[in-house]
Structure formats: structure tokens, C-alpha cells
Amino acid sequence: MSVTASSGSPRVSPQLYDTLPLSSVRKAEQQDRFPDRGELENLITFFQSGQTRVEASNKLSANATAIVARAANRIFVGGTPLSYLDAPVGAPATGDAGEILATDQQAFAASVETFVEGGESPSGGFLNRLFGGLSAGPDVRVIIPPGFTPINISRYGAERTRKSMRDLGWFVRYVGYAVVAGDPSILRVNARGLRDILEKGCSLPATNLALQEMRAAAGELFEVGTEARDLVIASFNVLLEELAVATPSTRQRPGNPQQQGLQLPAIYALASEAPQRFVMKPGLSGVEKAEIIKAAYRQVFQRDIAKAYSQAPCAVEASQVVQGQISMREFIRALGRSKEYRQQFFSRFSNTRAVELAFRHFFGRGVSSIEEFRRYFSIVSAQGLNGLVDSMVNSMEYARVFGEETVPYLRDLGEEAQESAGWGSNRKLFRFSAPFDGAPQYLTLYASYRQPLADQHPYGGGNDPLGLSYGAIFPSATASVRTRPAPYGYRSRRLMIGNGLKPSGQINGPDFNRARPRKVGPRVVSMPASANDGRRPEVNAGAETIQAVIRAVYTQIIGNSGYDGEQQRSAESRLANGNLSLKEFVREIARSKAFQRRYWDGLYITKAIEVMHRHLLGRPTFGRWEIDSYFDTAARRGFFGVVDALIDSEEYQTAFGDNTVPYERFVTSFDVNNRRVPSFRPPLDISSIPQSTSSAAPSRPEAKPRIELKTPGSTVKRNLESGDKKNLFGALPKPERAGFNPVRLRGGVDSIDGPTSKAVMTGILSGSKPEALTSRTSVGYVPITLKQDASESTLQLVISAVYRQLLNRIPFDAERPSELESQLRSGSIDVYGFVAGVASSELYQTRLLNMPPLLAAATAHLTILGRAPKPEEISQFIRTRAENSQASAIEALLQSDDYTTAFGKQTVPYPIGLQTQSGLPLLSLNTTASLVQPNAGLTPPERPLISTRGVRNRLGKERPAIPSQAQKKQPSLSLRGRKAAFSSRAGQFRSKSSSLQPSQPIFSASGLSLFAPNSASTMLKLMTGADPKALRPGSPALPTPRVLVLSPSESELQEIIEATYQQLIDRLPFASERLVEAEAQLRAGNSSVVDFVAKIADSDLFQSRLHKLPPLKAAATAHLALLGRAPLPDEISVFLTRRSNSGQLQAVSALIESEAYKKSFGENVVPGPVGTKSAPGVPLVSLIQTASMTQGTAGLNPKPSKSAI
């Protein structure tokens, strides 16, 4: 059994004194009823007199010095006893202006009077003072006790006099506490037992006389007959009564092999109010016997189940105990063996928790030791509930405490001695909610005693701050009551981890304090050698170094560089001039208001000491003994004393000296875990580890020598090679072939250099097919095929593979097409049908719609066909998507011969573009390799999709590579150059239309394929100005223009108004924001739509919207909202120039008055997106930009991640 472990936080311990509210409701609580009239009246009186009691306590506190001085002057002679009185910590001794209070003046004047000389005095001399108490009231009359003699201070001693004066002050203070509590039990707890101490250390009659004098002095402060005076005098009478009573003997608890023998001081037993005893006697009335039966129910079932649930367990036994046929002991046994008790407290719990609850119900206490628990646990395991109940009721302890006719009751702290190790668990066990907690308490408590010291603060884990440099941040701002043990002795020391320090030897030794960090530890900042002697050989360099040192001090001490007004400019100047050492500068910063506000004012003393210790000494505290050493300093010298004690310590001087900034030297394991960055650790594959057949350790494998062709280029670094060739196939593993190694050539394509012998070369030229020139298979991907009668795991694998191939993730349960999965499981559809269903779903369609056109085409081909698209396939996909729909373009890919040849009906698509195929150009293979990173179905990164050479522009980003047909002559990258190049190519095509091959794609100036016509006639039709069906005005691809007709209805006017608001400000304004006057003019016919648009464009709604955007994006938004298209480069320049010269209002008005607006919308048409259809004079770049900016509804702001231009 443990006799030294604590049960946790002292906040768990019960209250050791009583108050009037507690004593008023305790009896009602024990009887499980509401308070009666008398108890409620006591509570009402207590709360109504609360202000009076607080005022009485304040009056006692204000005159405490005078009261103590009067008592001291009566019992001490030969000096000034008041000079030996230490004022309470934190009590102000002076007034606001620094003058001595009148009470102190009066007390000091009274203390210098000498009564033994019998001189003339206003009070009539010593004899008059001796018998002056006879004229006072009878309740405060001072009676000199027999045997009293005045105490001479010179012979009594200064130290003993100081302690006696301290005790007199304590008496007055505790009387004030009792007055506020309304109950004198706190005085009984603290005064009983002092008689023996006072008889040994000083004079008991002198103490009695001093208490009478303090009673008389306190009584004079209140009017006779008031409640406050009566309460104060009653409190002093309790002190006099307790000093007159001899110290009672302690209560003994006998021990046994399983239970420790203990003793309880009588002061706790007498101060606590004992629980009500219910004893069954033959002469009691029927009502009283029924109350005793209810008490038995409350004890065993923890509630009156007869009243609450209309249950009456063991009704026959209850009748027998009332008639005297059986004893109360047998009735308790019957309740424990009943069906109700088994259901509520045994069947629902483990045997461990059932034993703990049984101790509460039948013994009225908790488990004392692990040995006692083992005994009863073995009984319940072997004999069940009945055996457990019988062993407890038949025990000697039950007979000694309760006997035959007493109902068991809770034996709390005031009843008998209990082990301190179980206080926390007892508090939880005695709660009403104990049956709702199924976790064992005592077994885990005793098991924790045998564990090593916990890795936490010696005063609780809540006192350890987080390992941050800024602020005093703790895991929890509230104090949590912990019932777990804290087995820290006074000399226990915490375990610490060196923060990158070199081996430091014995903790807290000389080597420990002088240890310096290694390269992995914190950076040590020191003052330069010439900083303190006044010499400045390098003024600039020295000034920069000193500023760096100052910043390091602020960061370490305060936590940051300090806000404005927090820097100590004077101390910084003295440090820079050499008039102040770095150690003293640290002291100045630590004594500043900024440091005090962060780490002292808002914290209680334990937390404040811990945080300051970390910032100033660079380590947490060792244990209680180190923290306790600062408690006295903090009490006597306050905040500045603690700071000086830390900086003036020997450890600070040894560790940092006078010229080193403090740094973090040691941390706790909790800090290390919090600072550890989480990283991805792949799971260990046990199956890949070769198993050794012999017991001996296998021999270490030899490194395989590399066999490759040595050329001058492999030994001499050339600067002509492309710097990006190493990333061309970075996502692919290199093929492991025997006899050759791949050698990268300058073209950026892997070529295989084989042996150059004549025989091999002859074999190649003669038509034989060497191994190195065979088609390479797709590396790292295994085809997944669904066979007939497949298992559920195989079906789940196929479904997951399809999701990852097409969506790049497994969808959530709410997103999964459950019907398609069911059809695949039942065999109604094959893998091809499941892929087609997922490809037509909203998840896949939305994924492609959120991408630019070229990126969407590449993703569709990669996910469905398993390879990158050819240029003509990109053109075909974009054209089908524009003319019909995106779903039609996807359906065309699924119905293509490429899909059928590659995957068939039962194979999940996978990247086949990583293997060489007949008819598949090398460009497609390289593009597929750049898209797959490395899993199939991944969204391609934000970079060009068709890239063979990795050309980079001046911004460091890759731009699309241009095929060889378009690289011969690069046109100008300006808009005019692109337009001219496009026109010239159109003219060339018209003149040479007969020579155009159907399979040749047409490229724009950027090198990207726009479309791939199937015939020359189709291409000629496109170049002559015919537009596709989807881009004609009035098609479903564009919103229908809203026109204000003559004599419109109110609904038509409302649609025009709302459409205008949506176009310009992208929302409907609130009622307070609407332009009521402009709407009224439009409804009355006094203005047109263009006038209404101009009013909205001039309002704060539209102007503030543009002001919040960057200049380029503001220009793009203005043109899109007013002209319905993206601006041209020269239009952006004109808008920004006019905006900077004349203002944004004029720039917007110019757009409305422009010819482009009149031509597109006229007077009565609401502006809308017109830039998404081809038109003469509108370049293709404007069409593409308008389409990218218009995300469904016209007038939307461009996405923040996309540039408007």
C-alpha cells in the first residue's frame, strides 16, 4: 500500500470548515428532499445580511492594527510592541498621498504608553486601566485571568515578540473570515489544539487577556445591539472557548493486513458536521420507521427509488424490519442481493467498477489499498454478486462501524481517518453521478503509483507553458481538477532534454551550466569584445552588430522586437555607448512594463515563475524545491525581486556571463513533441524483406558496377546541353536491362546506345530486331481487367481504379453513383459502361469545365484513352465541344477505335501512352510522360501540356512548344503581329487550298492547334468567315439579349432593371442601395436603358467595385460589364490613361458613349456578353479572354487566381 503518493490537485480535497448555507441545506440533501421553511428562512436571513457582514469585516480589517495594538499594550511592557508587527503582504501602509493613516497614528501613539509606571495619563493610570473594563458592557467586559503577568519584551526576545504579534493579527483576520462566512466553524478548526502549543511557547493567560482586549476593542467599533456587533463578539467568544478546552484525543482507525491504520485529528472531526444517523429502534413511530427505510434505499441505490420510480425492492424484508423480525443489517443484505441492485450496479459494469460501487453502498467509503481491492475482486470473480455482498455485510468493519440497526452512511473526511492517496477517487465515488461513470477509478489510481514520474510540471501539467517564444500561452486557461496522482516529492527533479547542447555532465553542475550548443542548437548571440571598452574601430559594423544584439535580447526576453513605446531607448543608447553591460541591459528589459504585463500581471505565481525562468535562464524549473525558493522572494520583494534573483543567480553568470544573450538551453519532451513537424512515412512492407534461411546473418550485397559507354562528353561538362533534359522523364523509373544503359542525347529523347561491334551492326542492318529496339511497355502500370464471377474485393478494386483514373480521387458517399456500381456488380453493364457512366456524371463534367480548353482536352484524352492527344485530336475535341457539347466530345472518345483497341469492354483505362506504338509519334509519348505525375488520372499541373523542349520565358515559366512546322518562322508576339500573321496564313491557305492535306493541323501564332479540318472545303469555309453553329447569335450558348420594348409591363421592366444590376454589380442591391429615382424615370419612360446603365455606372456601387480591383483587372471588368467583351491592349491603355488623368468616372462614361457600345447595344438593350462569338475585326485572343472571364453570368469578377488579360 502507498503512504506517500498524493491523489492529485489540492482543489479536490473537501472543504475543512462549514458555512451557514451549507449547514442549512445539508440535512435536506441527506434526506433527499426540498428545504423546509426553517432552512429557507436561515438562507434568506444569511443573504439579506450579507452586506452587513461584509461591511463589518471591512471595518475590522481597517482597524486591525489598532485592535492588535490595544491587546499588545496590555500584555507587553518594556518596549513598543507595534514595531514588531509585520503588515500583511499587499496591504497598503500609506494613503494615496504617501501620508500615514490616522488609524496607524492612533495605534502607534497608544503603543508608546507605559502602564507599569503609574504616571498621570488621560486614562487615569495603570490601576484605572486595570479596572476600567468593569464599566464596559457585560458582553465585552475584560476579566484578568489568574496567573497573568506582563511580558517584558527585552527578556521575551525580538523573534518571539514578532511571532506573538503575528498570531494576534491572525486572530483578528480569522474573525473577519468567520463574519463573512456566517459560521464560526473556521475558528474552531484553526483554534482547537492551540492550547498545548501556547502553554509550551508562551503564556496562556496573556493570550486570554489579549483576546478579551481585542473583543472589547472590536465591540467599540459597532453600535450596541446590532447584528454585526453580536456576530463579531460571538466569534471572539468561540476563540476564548476553544483556548479554554483541552486538546481532544485523536480518532484512531484500526488497521489490518489489507487496510492501513490511521488517526484523525479531533479538530477535523469536531469542526465537520456529521451526517445524520438512521437507527432502527422498536419504539419509533410508523412515520419514523418509513423514513429509515427510505434512508436505506438512498444509501444502497443512491436515490429514493420508491418515490422517484415507484419501486419498492424487497418489500417483504422491509415489512419484516419494521416489525422487528429481522435487523437492518439483514435488510441491507437483501437489498444488495436484489434483482434491482444487480441490474443497476452489477450487470452494467465490469467486476472492477462493481467492487468500487459496492464499497460506497455497503461500507460508505472507497477502496483503501490495492490489497483490499484484490481480496474482494477475487471474491466477486469466484462467487458473484451474492458472495461480494455477504463478505462485506459479514465483515468486522461493518459490525464495528454500523452494528446491527444502523443504516450505512458515507464516511467522509470528518468521520474517520482516510488515506490521502484516495481523496480524489473518493470525491468522484461520493458524487451522485458515480453510477454513470463506468471507468474504474481505484485500480488505475493504484497502477499509476507504480509508474515512473509523469512528464509534467511538479505542480500540475497546466503550469507548463507551450514551448513558444512569444507570450505566456498555456494548454488550458482554466484550472482543471485532477484526481490522478502527482507522485512528486519535494526533492523530485524533472527530466529535461538538452536543446542541441554538448554533453553537459551532472545536472546543475559547473559543466552543466557552461555547456554550449552545437550547430544543431540555438544560435548564441554575444556582445563584441570592443562593445564595452569605448573603442569603435569599425563604427558601421559595430553599430549593426549592436542592433542585432538588441533585437536578440528583445526576442528572447519579451518574445518579439517590441511594439512602439515598449523599447527601452535610454538603455539601448547606454549599451551602444559602452556605459551598460549586456547583462544589465537584459535586466532593464526584464524589469520593463512590457515584460511585466506579459509574464507577471495576468498569471498566478507558479505560472509566472515558470515562464520567467524559461525566458531568463533558458530552461524550465527543476522541481518544487526550486519554485518554492522563489515564493518567498515574490512575497517579500515582488516582481522586481524575482527578476533580480534570476539574473543575479550563479547559474546565469556561469551560463551567459555579462556579454551573452540568454537562449533556450533545455526543453521538456512535451516541447519536443509539439515542435516536431509531421512527415509522411510510408508503411513498412514486410513481404519485400527477404527471409534468411540460416540463423547466421546474410552477407552484405555487393554494389552492382555500372556498365556504360564512356565518351568525352561524359567526363567533360559541356554548356550546350539543355538544362531541362533531366526532368523530361523524371516521373518514370529507368528500365533495368542487362547489357546496356540508356544514354541521354541532346535532343531530349532517351535513345539506347548498344554495342558498336560489327556483328551487332550487321544484325541491325540485316533486318533482325534487337531487344533494345522493341516496343517498350508502360512502366509501373498493370492493366486491371474484370473477369466473370469476380469477387467483391476485385469489383471494389475495379471501381476504385475507375474513380482514380477519371476523377483522381475516391468520391464521397453522397457523390458516388450507387446505381452504376450496383449494375456493375450484378453484371448488367461491363467496365466500358461503368466508365461511360462516370464520364457522363456531373463530377467528371465539372472537372473538365473548370479547366481551360486545351487543358480539358489533354485531361480527357489522358483519362479515357490513356495517352496525351495529338494536335489534330485537340482540334477535333475543342470543335466538337463548341459545336455540340462537352458530353458529345467525351462520348466520341469512348466510341473511338483507339479506346476499343486499347482497353476493350472489361479493362480499366490506364496510361498506355508511356509505351511505344505504331503510328504514335514521339511527341505524344513525351507529352504523356510529362502529364502523368506519376499516377494516371492526375490533373495536369499548371504548365503547358504539349512541351518537348522545356523552353522557358523570362518569367521562368514554361511556354507551349511549337511543332516543327511552326518553328521555322516565328511571328511577332504582339496583338497586331498575331492578327497580321493570321491574315497572311489565311491568304496563303486560300491561294493554296488544293495543296492542303486533311491531316495537317492549323496552328495559331502561339503554336497551338486550333482545329483539324477533315477536308479542304471545311477549312476554306472556316477561313472565309463562316462561324460555327454554337457561336451564332441567339444560340443556347449565349444569353438572350434583353430589349426594352414599347409599352412594357411591370414584370418586363423589373427584368430589365434586375438584369442591368446583375450585369454591372453582379448582384441585386439592398433596398437602401437601389437607385430609386433612376428606376422611377425608366418606368415612366423618361429615360432609356442606356441612361439607366449610365446612372448605375456613375453610382458608388459600380465605382467602389472597380476601386477595389487592381488597374488591369478594373479595366477588364469595366469592358466586360459595359461592352460585353474583354478589352484589347490599346483599349486597356486608353482606359488606364483616362482614369489617371480625368478620373475613373470619366473613363467609365467614355465606354458608355463609345461607338462600340452603340453598335452592340444601342439605346434600349441591356449589356451582355457579346465577345464570346466571332465577328469581323474581333481577334481570336479577345474571344478566348472573354470566354475565360465570363464564368456563366456576365459581369462576374475574374477569378483571383486568373489574370484578367
When pLDDT is cut at 50, 70 and 90, the band that residue 1191 belongs to is low
C-alpha cell at 827: 453484371
CB 388 within 8 A of CB 380: yes
Do the Cβ atoms of 653 and 581 come closer than 8 Å? no
Say if residue 436 is in the same domain as residue 476.
no
pLDDT tens figures, 945-991: 333 334 344 334 444 433 333 333 344 334 444 444 444 444 444 44
| Phi, psi angle pair for 408, to nearest 5° | -60, 150
Predicted pLDDT at 1176:
66
On whether residue 236 sits in a domain, the answer given is yes
- Of the CA atoms within 13 Å of residue 100, those in its CB half-sphere come to 9
Confidence of residue 1189 (pLDDT cuts 50, 70, 90): confident
Tell me the pLDDT band of 402, cut-offs 50, 70 and 90.
Answer: very high
- Residue 829 grid cell: 453493364
> Could you tell me if 983 and 1082 lie in one domain?
no
Report which secondary-structure segment, H or E, holds 763.
helix 758-765
List Cα–Cα distances, 619 to 222, 464, 608, 613, 665, in angstroms. Answer: 55, 12, 14, 6, 6
CA angle 445, 450, 456 (to 5 degrees): 80
Domain boundary among 905, 934, 963: 934
- Phi and psi of 726, rounded to 5°? -75, -15
Residue 349 belongs to a domain: yes
* Confidence at residue 16, expressed as pLDDT on a 0 to 100 scale: 57
pLDDT band at 716 (very low <50, low <70, confident <90, very high): low
**Whole-structure pTM over 0.75, yes or no?**
no
pLDDT in tens, 1150-1187: 999 998 898 888 888 999 888 666 666 667 767 777 77
Tell whether 422 and 279 lie within a shared domain: yes
> Which 3-state string (H, E, C) describes 229-274?
HHHHHHHHHHHHHHHHCCCCCCEEECCECCECCEEECHHHHHHCCC
CA atoms within 13 A on the CB side of 253: 21
If asked whether residues 742 and 846 sit together in one domain, one would say: no
pLDDT at 640: 94
Last residue of a domain, one of 1026, 1059, 1090: 1026
What CATH number did the domain enclosing 1071 receive? 1.10.3130.20
Domain assignment present for 260: no
The answer to whether residue 1197 sits within a structural domain is no
Q: Is the peptide bond preceding residue 934 cis, with omega within 30 degrees of 0?
A: yes
- Mean per-residue pLDDT of the chain: 75
**pLDDT band, residue 438 (cuts 50/70/90):** confident
Q: Is 811 in the same domain as 905?
A: yes
Residue 63 covered by a domain:
yes
User: How, if at all, do strands 741-744 and 666-667 pair?
Assistant: unpaired
- Range from 469-483, 827-841, 1105-1119 carrying the lowest mean pLDDT: 469-483
Q: What 3-state DSSP class applies to 517? A: strand
* 394 shares a domain with 289: yes
* DSSP H or E segment with residue 77: strand 76-77
- Residue 548 scores a pLDDT above 80: yes
- How many C-beta atoms surround the C-beta of residue 976 within 10 A? 11
Number of domains comprising the chain: 8
Domain range enclosing 1021: 975-1026
Residue 254 domain-assigned?
A: no
Task: Give the pLDDT confidence score for residue 1095 in this predicted structure.
Answer: 92
Predicted confidence (pLDDT) per residue in 138-167, tens digit: 778 888 888 888 888 888 888 888 888 888
Is a pLDDT exceeding 70 seen at residue 877?
yes
Q: Rounded CA gap, 1189 and 1097, in Å?
A: 20
Q: Give the CATH number of the domain where residue 226 resides.
A: 1.10.490.20
Name the one residue in this structure whose C-alpha cell is 437601389.
1074
Identify the bridge partners of residue 497 per DSSP, sorted by sequence position.
Answer: 667
Note whether 1122 and 1145 are same-domain residues: yes
Q: Assess whether pLDDT exceeds 80 at residue 772.
A: no
Asked whether 665 and 497 are in contact (CB, 8 A), the reply is no
294, containing H or E segment: helix 286-301
User: What's the confidence (pLDDT) of residue 38?
Assistant: 85
Residue-wise pLDDT tens digits, 1012-1054:
344 444 444 444 444 444 444 444 345 677 888 888 888 888 8
Regarding whether 593 and 466 lie in a shared domain, the answer is yes
**Same domain as 226, residue 105:** yes
Inter-residue contact 973 to 1005 (CB < 8 Å): yes
Which pLDDT score, from 0 to 100, does residue 393 have? 95
What is the model's pLDDT at position 93? 44
Contact present, 293 and 219 (Cβ < 8 Å): no
CB 589 within 8 Å of CB 560? no
Coil, strand or helix: which one is 204?
helix
Residues 1007 and 963: beta-carbon distance below 8 Å: yes
The number of angstroms, rounded, from the C-alpha of 174 to the middle of its chain's C-alpha atoms is 44
Q: In this structure, are 901 and 918 located in the same domain?
A: yes
Nearest of 525, 562, 567 to residue 546 by alpha carbon = 525
User: Nearest Cα to 277, choosing from 27, 16, 35?
Assistant: 27
Q: Is residue 506 domain-shared with residue 622, that is, in the same domain?
A: yes
970 assigned to some structural domain:
no
Q: Is residue 593 part of a domain?
A: yes
The conformation of residue 859, written as its DSSP 8-state character, comes to H
Q: What is the pLDDT of residues 330-385, one digit of tens each?
A: 999 999 999 999 999 999 999 999 999 999 999 999 998 889 999 999 999 999 99
CA distances from 935 to 680, 733, 820, 864 (A): 18, 13, 24, 14
Domain boundary among 402, 417, 449: 449
**pLDDT tens digit sequence for 1119-1128:** 989 988 888 8
- Residue 195 pLDDT level (bands cut at 50, 70, 90): confident
- Bigger pLDDT: 308 or 165? 165
For residues 317 and 415, state if they share a domain: yes
69-117 pLDDT tens trace: 998 998 998 888 888 887 664 444 444 434 444 444 554 455 444 443 3
Can you say whether residue 548 is alpha, beta or left, with left for phi > 0 and alpha for psi between -120 and 50 degrees?
A: alpha
